[in-house]
A = this chain, B = another copy of it.
Amino acid sequence: MAKIAVLGYGVVGSGVVEVIHKNGRTIAGKTRADLEVKYILTRRDYPGDPFEELIVKDFSVIENDPEITIVAECIGGCGAALEYVRRALKSGKSVVTSNKELIAEHGCELLSLAKERNLNLLFEASVGGGIPILRPLNQCLAANELTEVYGILNGTTNYILTKMIRHGLPFDEVLKDAQQKGYAEADPTADIEGFDACRKICILAALSFGKHVYPRQVKTVGITQITAEDIAFASAAGMRVKLLGRAMLNEEGKLIIYVAPHLMDEENQLANVEDVFNAIIVKGDAIGDVMFYGKGAGKLPTASAVVADVIDASKHAESRKYIHWVDGNDDYVADADAYPMRWFVRAAMTEDEARAKFGKITVIPHQTEGQIGFITEPVSRYGINAASEGCEVLSVISVLD
């Protein structure tokens, strides 16, 4: 019997308590892991809640209870969550978390703390919600030299882009609709500016390539500048627009990492990943491309990933799961803007002007008065910026090849 403390009783925390309660018998049957939630840490009162008697308000109750072997952190952010996770590890408790910000910013430090004390620190739910991705990356693909990991990492922006594509609507209108439906938060900044996807690609890159990358090192472009005109040009070219996080090693072993919207062929596997679904593609030397797909967020998917980690931590109480990465030095991350790729450009100019400025281009057959949309040959972002000088360039979006 593993006794667990759940920190935070919001969407994810209450989901964790619910899944353990509801599926506990199946879990015990399938995995021999017998789980019991002993405490729920929350500042609020929940009178009448079925788990009311488990609520505590002082973390030191948990910290000082030797029966607690696993702490499931579902608070979020890097404030109290960071403090409690540090204290939990220092007091000899394994930690499971869905907190991507915590791992992206402090993963290296916390993994070292866990390693020193032979404890587990697991965070499957921090990327892709309920989609199993970190464990397969770490275990199933262990025999591969991984070369690239990328994908649709944020459900809110994918929902917004899907609606823009389907109905030809402008960004602002779709965002408002998404907020009303609960798919976007009241303050949607972290999603629409790409910060959430940025934290996730940092975690994926660290696991894939063994070195920590901090969100501040990652060039991050969100979807707020994507217009209905961009989408119309993309559709005319047989392409869709998706926000991708992407990380790959270049020939010098440096990391190219960024978050940005991409145009991609509508036959691309990612192009058909719609609404709030996420999909992550991993490239390995032996395995080729492998894709993981599912709902990237939501109470029960995320909670089920947290509980799977709790099960794993309870079964590996003695022999620690080996997840570890080292700190990356400052020059580990290459300049993403120097990476050559094709670009979609929308501009107020004629075809002749476009060819004169951008060289060999493929013009998209779509009529919009005074505007042209085209796709360049592979060139760095600096090259695009130089060519754009003195022109009225309205949009520049990466193309995924």
Contact = CB atoms under 8 A, between A and B. Distances in A.
Interface in A125-145: 130-132, 135-136, 139-145
A92 interface: no
A284 interface: yes
Interface string A10-25: 0000010001100100
Contact of A300 (B26, B130, B287, B290): B287
Contacts of A293: 269, 290-293
Given A145-B26, A295-B287, A316 B319 contact: yes
Contacts of A287: 130, 294-295, 300-301, 304-305
A272 B270 CA distance: 10
A136 B294 CA distance: 13
A336 to B, nearest CB: 25
A372 interface: no
A32 interface: yes
B284 A288 contact: no
Interface stretch (A168-176, A197-205, A306-314): A306-314
A327 interface: no
Copies of this polypeptide in the complex: 2
Given A142-B31, A145-B26, A290 B286 contact: no
Contacts of A294: 287-291
A298 B287 CA distance: 9
A285 B23 contact: yes
A315 B140 CA distance: 13
A322 interface: yes
A365 interface: no
Contacts of A15: 286
Given A32-B322, A291-B293, A322-B32, A286 B23 contact: yes
A27 interface: yes
B292 A292 contact: yes
A101 to B, nearest CB: 22
A124 interface: yes
A30 interface: yes
Given A272-B272, A289-B294, A311 B141 contact: no
A140 B286 contact: no
A303 interface: yes
Given A132-B136, A289-B295, A295-B287, A143 B29 contact: no
A401 interface: no
Contacts of A77: none
A288 B139 contact: no
Nearest to A289: B294
Nearest to A33: B142
B143 A19 contact: yes
Contacts of A20: 143
A318 interface: yes
Contacts of A316: 319
A210 interface: yes
A267 B140 CA distance: 29
6 contacts: A23-B285, A130-B290, A141-B304, A144-B304, A287-B304, A319-B319
